[in-house]
Structure 1
Amino acid sequence: MAPFDDWNKLDDDEEEELQDSSLYEGKRDVILFCIDCSPSMLELYEDPRFEDVQTCKLLTALEAAMQVQKRKVLVGPNDAVGIMLFNTTKRNENDEAGADLKKGTYVYQPIATVDAPKVVELMQLLDEARENPEKLAEMFPPMPDKKRVPVGDVFTSCNWVIRDGAPKTATKRIFFITDEDNPHPGAASSRLIASARTTLIDLVQAGVTVEPFFISTEEKPFDPSIFYSSVLLATNLADEDGLGEDGEGQILPESISIGQIDELLSQMRFHEVPKRALFSVPFTLAPDFTIGVKGYGLITEQKRGAYRYFADLGDRMEVVGSRTAYVDEEQETEAEKAQILFGMDLGAPSAEVEEEGGDEHKEAGAGTRSVPLGSRVFYTPDEVRSFRTLGLEPGIKLLGFKGRKELAFEDNIKHSVFIYPDEMTYSGSKRTFTALLRTMIKKKKIAIVLALTRRNSSPIFCAVLPQEEKVDESGWREPPGFHLIPLPFADDIRSAPIEKGFRASDELKEAARKWIDKLVVKNGSYPPDSYPNPALAYHNAQLEASAFREEFDSEAFEDLTEPKYDMIHKRAGQLIKAWKQAVHEDETANIVAAPVAGTKRKADVSVDEAEIRSKWEAGALNKLRVDQLKDFLKSKGEPVSGKKAELIERVSDWLQNHP
C-alpha cells in the first residue's frame, strides 16, 4: 500500500498566511531607507579604512543601503528597496516620483524591485563622493540655520512613498537613520512629539514597521530619552494605560545606539531579514473567550536561492513563469482542480491471485492490482484535507495546566515556535496575554494546548512554556512570550539502551574547566548573524561578482567561522597542554572498548545475462537459484511471481525472443 503522504498532499493556495518555509520564499520584503541629511551627517572626518580619504555619516549610511541592495539582488530578487533623504533642500521634479512629498524630503531611489543597474548607479555615486568629499553636500544640500523637517512630516512622506511603491501583501519596513537625538528643541516640542507619534501609529496600522538606527559618537552621544522614547511605539507587554503622557517606561522597538558609524552596516545585518510570522491564529482560552496570537520561528536554516529559468528575447532576459497542469489522457485536455480526485495505489498481487487471474493481470501491468470499476474509493480535496485536520479550523485551544516540572527535557523533539499577542485581530489580546503570562510565571505552570497552525497540517498537542522578559544594562535582550513546544506521541520516542561509560574524575573536570572558562564567548551569548555560513557566503560572493561584472578574488574571502588559533593558544594554550597530559595519565581514559562484532554482508546473488544465456544454451537453467532467476526477470521488466519451473520457462521465453 502506498504511503499516506504520497496521495494526501494538497496545494493550499487559499491560505497565504499559514505557510512555513514557502512564506519566506514567496512573500516580498520592502525596505525604505530614511536617512537624515542634516549638516552633522555631512560633516567630514578621516575614513578609518582608507588613507588620505575623508568620509561622512551620510556616505556610510548610503554605503550600508548599497550593501543591503547588493545582497538583495542575490538572496531576495523579488524584494524592493528605496532611499529617501530628509532635512535637505533638494526637491523632486514634477515628473519624478515623490514630487508631492512634504517639503524637506527627497526621494533618491523610489521603491522598486532591486536590480543591478540601480545598485551600480549608487556605487558610482559613492566612488565619486570618496574622490570629492563635497559631492554629497552639493547633491543634497542640507537645510540652513538649523531648520529641521518635523519628524511627523518625515513619517508622512515615508507613508506616501511606501503606499505608491510597495505591494499590499509585502513586509514593509523603514530603516530610520539619524544622529540627532533632539530634532525639535523649544516650546513646540510636545506638539511635534504628539504629531510624530500619531503619524507613526498610522504607519503601523498600514502594516509598516520602523526600525531606528541611532548614530552615537564620543563627541556627540545619542540619548533616545530626549525625543524618540516618546515617539516610537513600545514593544514590551506592559499596559499602555500605565504609561505617563510623555511615554516614560517604554522600550524602543529594537532601537540601536551605534557607538561608531562604522558599526552601522554590521548592526543592520541583524535587521536585514524581516521578522515574518509563521502563522496568525486565534488562541481560545475558554468558550467565547479568544485572543489573537502570532507565531515566529526562532531558528531558520538559510539556504541558497532557488534557480530560475530565463528566456533570451534578444535585447533582454525575461524570467520564465512556470506552472503545473494536469492533463486528461483520454480527452487530452487540461483537467480542472475541482475534477481531480485522490485515491490510494494498491500493492502487487500475490502469486496465487495472479495464477487465478491469468492474462487479465498481465494486461493490467506487472505490480498493479486490478480493481473492478466502481469498487475503488476516491476522495475530493476537501475530504482529504478533513482527514489531516480532523475537521478543525486553524487555532490554538487551551486544554489545561500542569506544573513546570512535568515538562521533561526529552519532550522537546522539534523546534519550538515563539508566540506573541496580535492586537490587530482581537482587541485586548495584549493585556490578556500579559495577565496569563505573569500568572503562569508566578505559579510556575505550563499549559497544554491543542494546536493547528495551518490548514493543510495535522493537529498536535503542545506544551506552552512561559518566558519572562530579561533586561540587561544595554536594554532588553529576550522578549516576554510563550514557547509553543510540540509534544511527542508515544511512538515518537524510542527507548535508548542503557550503557554506562567511564566518568571523568573531579581532577580531570577541574583541569578542563580552567581552559573552557578562558574561551567563553563575550556576554555569554552567541550571535549567529555575526558568523555566516562560509559555504553560503562564498557562493553569494561569487554570484555578486558575476552580477555586478566584478572580478572575484577568492583569496580576499574571509571565513568568519574559522577559529582564531593564535588567540586560543595565547589564552589557554598552557592550560590545554596540562589537561591533555592529565588525560594521558588517567587510567580510565586509556581503556579501549572491545569492538562490536560486525554483521555479515548479504551475498551478491546477481548474475549477468551472458552467464544465464550460456546456461540456457547448455540446458542448465535449473542449476540457478530462484532469487537469481527473479533478479534477472525483474531487470527485464518481467513478472517474478510463480514457482521455479515457471520462472525458468519465463527466462527461456525471453532469451528465445531476444537472440
Structure 2
Amino acid sequence: MAPYDDWNKIDDEDDDELQDLSIFESKRDVILFCIDCSESMLKLYDDPKYEESVQTCHLYYALDAAMQLQKKKIIVGPNDAVGIILFNTTRQPDSSTKTQGSEIKRGTYLYQPIGPLCASTTRELVQLLDASFEDQGELRKEFPPLTGKSVPMGDVFTSCNWVLRDGAPKTATKRVFLITDEDNPHAGAGYRQLTTSARTTLIDLTQAGVTVEPFFINTEEKPFDITKFYSSVLVSDDLEDDNEQDDGSILPESISISRIEDLLSQMRIREVPKRSLFSIPFHLANGFTIGIKGYGLITEQKKGSYKYFVDLGDRMEVATVRTTYVDEDRQAEVDKTKIVYGADLGTSATADDDGNVEESSQNFSARGVKAGHRPFYTAEEIRSFRTLGLEPGIKLLGFKDLSELEFEDNIKHSHFIYPDEMSYSGSKRTFSALLKSMIKKKKIGLALVLTRRNATPMFCALLPQEETHDDSGWNDPAGIHLIPLPFADDMRAAPVDMAFKATDEDINAIACEWIGKLAIKNGSYPPDTYPNPALALHNEQLQASAFREEYDRSTFKDLTEPPVEAIHKRAGQLMKEWKRLLANDPSASIVIATTGSKRKADVSVDEAEIKSKHINGTLAKLRVDQLKEFLKSKGQSTLGKKDELLERVSGWLSTR
C-alpha cells in the first residue's frame, strides 16, 4: 500500500486555519517607527564607533536602525510596509497637498508615510543619513525640536492610530516601535490628567489591533527610569490583572537600551511579529471552557520563495499559479469537490464503477466494493479518518506528577499556549490560577489536542512555566508548554553500549576547569542574536543587488564562528593537559572486537528480464533462489528441484 500521507492528506482551501507556514508569508507586517525628536535626542556626542572625531546623536541611530530594518525587510518581507513618524518637532507637513499624515496632531510629523517597501524610499532615508553624517547639524535643520515643552503622549498615540488607520491594511499585523530617551514627558502641572489620557489613547490603539514595542535609551548621563511614567501607561502582557499590580513596575528592565549602538540588535530580536499558530478553546471540564492561543517557539527561517514573471513587453508582472485537475479522457477540468481518494493497492486493482452506498445498522454509510477492487473515499471522509470526528480544541484529561515526564518523551518541538481573553471572558484569570496551582503542586497536565481541522489528534503533556528573571534582564514568560507525547510505535529500544569513562580525579581536576572557562555567559544562548550564516550571506547579496551597491564578500561576518583565539587564550593549556591525560589513559589503546554480519544476497529479478530469457530459451541461467522468488511473487508453489521450478515458471509465462 502507498504511504499514509500520499492519499489521505487533503488540501482544504476553505479552511481558514493554519495549514502550513505560508501564513507567515501571506500575512503582511506593518511597522510604524515613532521616534522622539527632542533636544536630548538631537544632542551631539563623540561617537566611539569611528576613529576620527565624528559626532552623532540618538536620532541619527534611530533613523539608521529604521533604514537597516527596511533594507532587510525588502529581501525577507517584500509585502510588508514601514512608516516613520516623528514627534516633539516643529516641522509641519505641506498644507498644499493632502497626504496620509496631514491631519495628525500638532508637534508630530509623518516623515515617511506607510507604504510598501521600495528601494527608492529607502534611498531617500540613506541620503538624509549621509548628509547628516557630513554635517552634524543637518538633522536639527531638517527636524527642529520643540523648546520648553513636549507633545503629550496621548497625542502621539492618537497620531499613530490615525496613520495606521489610513495607511495599513486591515488584515495586517500592526506594530509601533516607540524610540525615546525621555522617561517623564509630562513633568510639571497636569501630570495625572495627561497620564490618564495617554493610557486611554494607548488602550484605543491596542484595541484596534496595534502592538506598541518600546525602545528606551538609557545612558550614564541620563538614566531612564520606567517607573516615572511608562510603567503606568504601557499595557503589560503579564497574566496578572492590572488591579493586582501594586508595585508600579509592570515592565521588565530589558526594554531599556544601555548603549544606543545596541538599538539595531534589539530591533532584530523583535523584528518578527508574534503570530499565533492556532486559536482554539481549552475545555477544562464539561461546560467549563476558556480560550487560548498557541505559538511556535522554533521556526526554521528559509530563503524566500521564487516567483514566476511574465514579460508583457513594457512591464514585468508576477504570474499567478493555479492548480487544476483535468480528466485525460474528456480533456476537461474536473470539479475538485467531486474528486475521491483511494489507497494504491497495486497494478491489478481497478476502480469500482458501481458506486453503491449501503446503510448499515451503525448509522454510517458503507460503500460496497467488489473483491479485488479499490475502495474510494470522499474528502470529508478522509478528514474524519484523521480527526476521528473531533473539533479543534484542547481537552484536559487529568494530572500527573512532574517527575513522570521524561526527557525522551519530547519527540517533537512543543507549542506555547497563552490565554485569549477576546474569545472567552475570564480566560486570563482562570489560566493564571491553573498555572499557579500546577507549579505549586509540581504537576503536569495530560490533554487530548487537535490544533486545526486538518490535523491529527494527539495526546500532549501540559508543562507549566513560571515567569523568571535574571541579571541580564531576560525573562521567560508565564505560560504552558504543549508537548506532544509519543505513541507506542514511536518508542524504540536503543542499544546501550557502555563506553570507557574517565576517572573522577581527571574529571574534577582538568575537565571541569576548562569546560567552565568556555561556558556561555549567564548560562543562556540567545538564538535570535546568531542568524543563519548561509541565509544572512544570501540576504546581504540580494540587498546589495536591490540597492545597486557593490558587495564586498570580505565584509561579511559569521557570528556563529567560534572565537578560536579567545578559546586558546582562556583554556588552551588546560585543553592540552586534558589531551595528554587521555593519550596516557590505558583504555585509549583498547580495541573492541566486533563481529561482522553477512549481507543477504539480492535475489530479486525483474519480470521483464525473465520474460526475455523465456523467449530466448535461456531461462535455465537463473539461479534457484531467483526462480523461487519470482514464483513466490506470483503466488505459485516454490517446492521442488530446479527443473520443476523452470517448468512451473515456463507454464506461468505461457499463459500470459
Could you tell me the TM-score, scaled by structure 1's length? 0.88
Tell me how far apart the structure 2 counterparts of residues 55 and 520 of structure 1 sit (CA, whole Å): 36
Return the alpha-carbon distance in structure 1 between the equivalents of residues 431 and 440 of structure 2. 14
Q: Which residue is equivalent to 1:549?
A: 548
What aligned pairs does 1:48-127 form with structure 2 within 5 A after superposition? 48-50=48-50, 51-93=52-94, 94-127=97-130
Letter in structure 1 aligned against 2:404: E
1:413 alignment counterpart: 411
Partner of 1:355: none
Select between 290-299 and 254-263 the one with higher mean Cα deviation. 254-263
> Which residue of structure 2 aligns with residue 11 of structure 1?
11
- Deviation of 1:451 (Å): 0.7
CA contact (8 A) 2:87 2:108 kept: yes
Residue-by-residue CA offset, 1:623-659 (whole Å, 9 max, x unaligned): 3559999999xxxxxx99999679889999xxxxxxx
Q: Structure 1 residue 175 and structure 2 residue 174: aligned?
A: no
Unaligned 5+ segments in structure 2 are 356-368, 637-644
Partner secondary structure for residue 128 of structure 2? helix
Distance 1:16 1:165, change over 3 A: farther
Measure, in 1, the Cα distance between the counterparts of 2:288 and 2:163: 40
The residue aligned with 2:37 is 37
Instruction: Return closer, same or farther for 1:119/1:623 CA change in 2, 3 Å cut-off.
Output: same
2:380 pairs, out of 377, 382, 407, with 382
Cα deviation digits, residues 575-611 of structure 1 (max 9, x gap): 111111111121123323224515437469889x999
Matches within 5 A, 1:474-485: 474-475=472-473, 477-485=475-483
CA distance in 2, matches of 1:305, 1:629: 53
**CA separation in 2, counterparts of 1:542 and 1:594?**
52
Supply the distance in 2 between the matched residues of 1:283 and 1:447 (Cα, whole angstroms): 12
Shift in alpha-carbon separation, 1:127–1:631, aligned structure 2, 3 A: farther
Whether 2:459 is the aligned partner of 1:461: answer yes
Deviation, structure 1 residue 163: 1.5
CA deviations on 1:302-333 (whole Å, 9 max, x unpaired) are: 11111111223344432222121122334433
Unaligned ranges ≥5, structure 1: 350-367, 633-638, 653-659
> Cα offset for 1:43?
1.6
| Preserved CA contact (<8 Å) 2:280 2:292 | yes
Match for residue 352 of structure 1?
none
Helix, strand or coil at the partner of 1:172: strand
For residues 77 and 260 of structure 2, the distance between their equivalents in structure 1, rounded to whole angstroms, comes to 26
Q: From the superposition, tell whether residues 630 and 198 of structure 1 become closer, same or farther in structure 2 (CA, over 3 Å).
A: farther
How has the CA–CA distance of structure 1 residues 647 and 159 changed in structure 2, closer, same or farther, with 3 Å as cutoff?
Answer: farther
Question: Is residue 347 from structure 1 mapped to residue 346 from structure 2 by the alignment?
Answer: yes
- Give the aligned partner of residue 21 of structure 2: 21
The correspondence for 2:444, drawn from 443, 446, 471, is 446
- What pairs with 1:615-630 in structure 2 (closer than 5 Å)? 620=618, 622-624=620-622
SS of 1:577's equivalent in the other structure is helix
Equivalent residue runs for 1:482-501 within 5 Å: 482-501=480-499
Q: Do structure 1's residue 142 and structure 2's residue 149 form an aligned pair? A: no
C-alpha contact 2:303 2:535 (8 A) present in aligned 1: yes
Distance, in Å, in 2 between the alignment partners of 1:394 and 1:617 is 61
User: Aligned to 1:213, what secondary structure does the other structure show?
Assistant: strand
Aligned to 2:317: 318
1:156 equivalent to 2:158? Answer: yes
Q: Distance in 1 between matches of 2:464 and 2:339?
A: 45
Pairing 1:133–2:136 present? yes
Looking at structure 2, the residues matched to 72 and 640 of structure 1 have their Cα atoms a distance apart, in angstroms, of 61
CA distance in 2, matches of 1:81, 1:646: 77
CA contact (8 A) 1:346 1:369 kept: no
| Paired residues of 2:19 and 2:454 also in contact (CA < 8 A) | no
Q: Cα distance 1:497–1:610, how it changes in 2: closer, same or farther (>3 A)?
A: closer
Aligned to 1:229: 231
Helix, strand or coil: the match of 1:419?
strand
The code of the aligned residue for 1:408 comes to E
Q: 1:272 is paired with a residue of what secondary structure?
A: coil
Measured in 1, the distance between the counterparts of 2:402 and 2:646 equals 64
- When residues 347 and 413 of structure 1 are mapped into structure 2, their CA distance, relative to the original with a 3 A threshold, is same
Q: Given residue 311 of structure 1, which amino acid in structure 2 is its aligned partner?
A: V
Deviations 1:234-287 (A, max 9, x none): 22222322234xx714235x8521111111111111101111111111111111
SS at match of 1:65: helix
Correspondence list, 1:539-618, <5 A:
539-600=538-599, 602=601
Q: Per-residue CA shift, 1:365-415, capped at 9, x if unaligned?
A: xxx546454345433322221111111111111111111112122211111
CA separation in 2, counterparts of 1:437 and 1:312? 58
Cα distance in 2 for residues equivalent to 1:298 and 1:373: 50
Show CA shifts across 1:453-482 (max 9, x none).
Answer: 111001111110111111224546111111
2:210 aligns to what?
Answer: 208
Structure 1 distance, partners of 2:249, 2:34, is 26
Q: Deviations over 1:487-507 (max 9, x none)?
A: 111111011123322222102
Matched residue of 1:322: which SS?
A: coil
C-alpha contact (below 8 Å) 1:150/1:184 kept by paired residues: yes
Q: Structure 2: how far apart are the matches of 1:479 and 1:268?
A: 19
Structure 1 pair 123/17, CA: closer, same or farther in 2 (3 Å)? farther
Q: Distance in 2 between matches of 1:404 and 1:600?
A: 46
Alignment: residue pair count: 624
Deviation at 1:34, TM superposition (A): 0.8
Cα distance, 1:579–1:255 mapped onto 2, change above 3 Å: closer
Structure 2 CA distance for aligned equivalents of residues 468 and 188 of structure 1: 39
Q: Give the partner amino acid of 2:267.
A: M
- The 1-side partners of 2:627 and 2:542 are apart by 53
**CA–CA distance in structure 1, aligned partners of residues 550 and 651 of structure 2:** 67
**CA positional deviation for 1:21:** 2.0
2:513 corresponds in structure 1 to: 514
Percent identity reads 62
One-letter amino acid of the structure 1 residue matched with residue 35 of structure 2: I
CA contact (8 A) 2:232 2:249 kept: no
* C-alpha distance in 2 between matches for 1:612 and 1:285: 66
Q: Relative to structure 1, is the Cα distance of residues 370 and 467 closer, same or farther in structure 2, using a 3 angstrom cutoff? A: closer
Q: Distance in 1 between matches of 2:523 and 2:44?
A: 37
CA distance in 1, matches of 2:635, 2:309: 49
Larger displacement relative to structure 2 (113-122 or 13-22): 13-22
Where does residue 361 of structure 2 map in the other structure?
Answer: none
Q: Which moves more between the two structures, 481-490 or 119-128?
A: 119-128
Partner-residue secondary structure (3-state), 2:377: coil
The alpha-carbon distance between structure 1 residues 618 and 131, as it changes in their structure 2 partners (threshold 3 A), is same
Q: Which amino acid aligns with 1:47?
A: D
- Backbone CA RMSD of aligned residues: 3.0
Query: CA 1:133–1:405 in structure 2 vs 1: closer, same or farther (change >3 Å)?
Result: same
SS in 2 for 1:21: coil
How has the CA–CA distance of structure 1 residues 602 and 61 changed in structure 2, closer, same or farther, with 3 Å as cutoff? farther
CA distance in 2, matches of 1:160, 1:547: 31
Contact 1:214 1:255 in 2 (8 A): no
2:420 and 2:427 in contact (8 A); partners too: yes
* Equivalent in the alignment of 1:337: 336
Q: Which residue of 2 aligns with 1:400?
A: 398
> Is residue 33–residue 84 contact of structure 1 (8 Å, CA) maintained in 2?
yes
Q: Retained in 1: the 8 A contact 2:619–2:646?
A: no
Match of 1:529 in 2: 528
Q: Quick check: 2:254–2:473 contact (8 Å CA) kept in 1? A: no
Q: CA 1:625–1:551 in 2, change beyond 3 Å: closer, same or farther?
A: farther
